[in-house]
Structure 1
């Protein structure tokens, strides 16, 4: 197999640092105080990457690597794809863990079971390694598909924060790059063997930096069984403030087709969390919440000189109301007066 034309010491150091940093992220994910099965998947992924990178290094620099460790590296390789894909899937869609998910790990677990029996010439070189690489490329492509759905802003139950978006993009692209470089080395024969581990180093360190700057990435917000989120009153207050400021400055309510999903995207919150904050923290239903901003916008225009000759119906439509009946009802509920009466009283005063 081809290797990079670098000094052995530098090559070994760079690849080794990637493995060490991956191990650090594995331990960090596992010890996150707000434990979640998604963090366990993430920890498994980084630990499997650690074993895979270590195996690659020893394969190049230690000719006497025992067969069990070589098989361990390949078994770890088989676990990386499923662990990452399931992590991303559950991160984005907030799905409950299904027993069917275990089937994704069957190939890796079988390799672990036969760790002392699989040989290079009798298994890996006669199609075993090729099957492993194709298997992982399928999972890498699955991750890229999820990334495509995410970047096209399809409706998701969870809307990650900016830091979480960078985290997911880097994690998926970095891993897909690593998997492809292993694939292109053995199947296509066009890249050096250690190019994958070497190029993975900047990805893994950038991931550590993003996680350091955004520690709440690992603190997944999920609903209680009674429908409430696992957040403190202070955290809910922060979310309510973010929601109000977004509505105030981005004027989402002016869109007559404004929905909870659109508000969730604009505030980087899950739709169910927007609903909970509006109902339980702010204290009103979502339609009333939207209409409260629309009514205030109408009131401002009714008393503004620039709208003196504008029909009230036009003002109502411009402020996001779909029908005059909905407008009149919302206005009277909020002010106790009709729009015409309100305008006359304000102008006369």
Structure 2
């Protein structure tokens, strides 16, 4: 009988198995608005959990207790990329439905499972565990390489989806931080970089060590990948869900010269904004503004995009910032904090207010207010 040699790395991986299983189950079983997307992420989390179980089975020599444990397929690395991409696709477009065509993304997984069967057959024939077979040594580096390429490629496509989604948000929502997926964008970049770092590991292991590096050499990257995967799952589950009111996406990026009618409507729109101060509504969206103006949302979008050469978010927030600046210059509002002014003028979060104000004016609200006082002191 062998003893379990516990160290910091495998203790972290053991913890990640339990935490990953918990969040995987929560994502799959909890009834939520975007449950179908969460199920995809939950499956991705379970794949990492199974992978960690495989690592621990080798480290703790589980085959000494369960001789044929290695026959259980625990590696599904070629499914990670498609699952991540489809999760992002479903999250960024609530009306998107997973179709039979999406199954094609998982065809490479069939090859990975076929390789597992070949390794298992070789192991049974020679009475050894799978990782010691010639089939494993010859084919697993190839599978690892394709898994790295697959995950990085799908990550790039997922990032493009999130970028397009953020562009759409800016065209339809004035306060859009609650709908933003910047957290997911950052984590996918980290996830892809970690898989990219696997490349030198695989090359060095295969070329210099004949694929004989031990688990200890791979532990740091195993741990980091587990942490990032669980991080994505935890963020996805713990963040409050939001419902996007508009589902029709116009992805036509062709730019045309605005017609006279569009320019006239753009001028009329600016007058309506000043007269009715729609921007004071923190929940203002393209759809709600269109209803107030008795216009079709598509026409309003065209007026803003073509007639004013702006997106909806910038158009509305410029009015809000100008309203705040007007109040900054008035002694009547000196008793109100900058955050209070921002809420009065249509912003609904400090983060959005500071970011938008700096984007428009080039300085923070506090710096701008100080400059007003300094100019008043010199005059």
Using a 3 Å threshold, how does the CA distance of structure 1 residues 39 and 158 change in structure 2: closer, same or farther? farther
**Alignment partner of 1:103 is 2:104:** yes
Using a 3 Å threshold, how does the CA distance of structure 1 residues 185 and 73 change in structure 2: closer, same or farther? farther
How many pairs were matched up? 244
> Is the CA contact (8 Å cut-off) linking 1:92 and 1:157 kept in structure 2?
no
1:100 Cα deviation after fit: 1.8
Q: Deviations over 1:266-294 (max 9, x none)?
A: x9x9xxx94433345x4632566969x99
Runs of 5+ unmatched residues, structure 1: 1-6, 228-252, 255-262, 305-349
1:143 Cα deviation after fit: 3.9
Using a 3 Å threshold, how does the CA distance of structure 1 residues 170 and 192 change in structure 2: closer, same or farther? farther
Runs of 5+ unmatched residues, structure 2: 121-129, 171-175, 206-212, 249-268, 271-278, 309-314, 327-379
Following the alignment from structure 1 to structure 2, what is the Cα–Cα distance between the partners of residues 31 and 46? Answer: 13
**Alignment partner of 1:50 is 2:49:** yes
> Is the CA contact (8 Å cut-off) linking 1:89 and 1:146 kept in structure 2?
no
Using a 3 Å threshold, how does the CA distance of structure 1 residues 184 and 57 change in structure 2: closer, same or farther? farther
Q: Which residue of 2 aligns with 1:126?
A: 138
**Alignment partner of 1:284 is 2:300:** no
SS class of match (1:168): helix
Q: Which residue of 1 aligns with 2:359?
A: none
SS class of match (1:97): coil
TM-score by length of 1: 0.55
Following the alignment from structure 1 to structure 2, what is the Cα–Cα distance between the partners of residues 283 and 146? Answer: 37
Using a 3 Å threshold, how does the CA distance of structure 1 residues 161 and 124 change in structure 2: closer, same or farther? farther
**Alignment partner of 1:83 is 2:95:** no
Using a 3 Å threshold, how does the CA distance of structure 1 residues 277 and 16 change in structure 2: closer, same or farther? farther
Q: Deviations over 1:35-85 (max 9, x none)?
A: 5432221111111111112111222222627566466222x2222122112
Following the alignment from structure 2 to structure 1, what is the Cα–Cα distance between the partners of residues 197 and 16? Answer: 15
Q: Which residue of 1 aligns with 2:371?
A: none
Q: Deviations over 1:305-325 (max 9, x none)?
A: xxxxxxxxxxxxxxxxxxxxx
Q: Deviations over 1:155-201 (max 9, x none)?
A: 75467746752431344134324433544333333992222222235
Following the alignment from structure 1 to structure 2, what is the Cα–Cα distance between the partners of residues 89 and 173? Answer: 16
Q: Which residue of 2 aligns with 1:13?
A: 11
Following the alignment from structure 1 to structure 2, what is the Cα–Cα distance between the partners of residues 57 and 16? Answer: 8
Q: Which residue of 2 aligns with 1:167?
A: 183
**Alignment partner of 1:186 is 2:196:** no
1:214 Cα deviation after fit: 1.5
Q: Deviations over 1:230-288 (max 9, x none)?
A: xxxxxxxxxxxxxxxxxxxxxxx87xxxxxxxx9xxx9x9xxx94433345x4632566
TM-score by length of 2: 0.51
**Alignment partner of 1:176 is 2:192:** yes
> RMSD between aligned alpha carbons?
4.3
Using a 3 Å threshold, how does the CA distance of structure 1 residues 213 and 71 change in structure 2: closer, same or farther? closer
**Alignment partner of 1:198 is 2:232:** no
Following the alignment from structure 2 to structure 1, what is the Cα–Cα distance between the partners of residues 234 and 77? Answer: 24
Following the alignment from structure 1 to structure 2, what is the Cα–Cα distance between the partners of residues 32 and 131? Answer: 37
SS class of match (1:73): coil
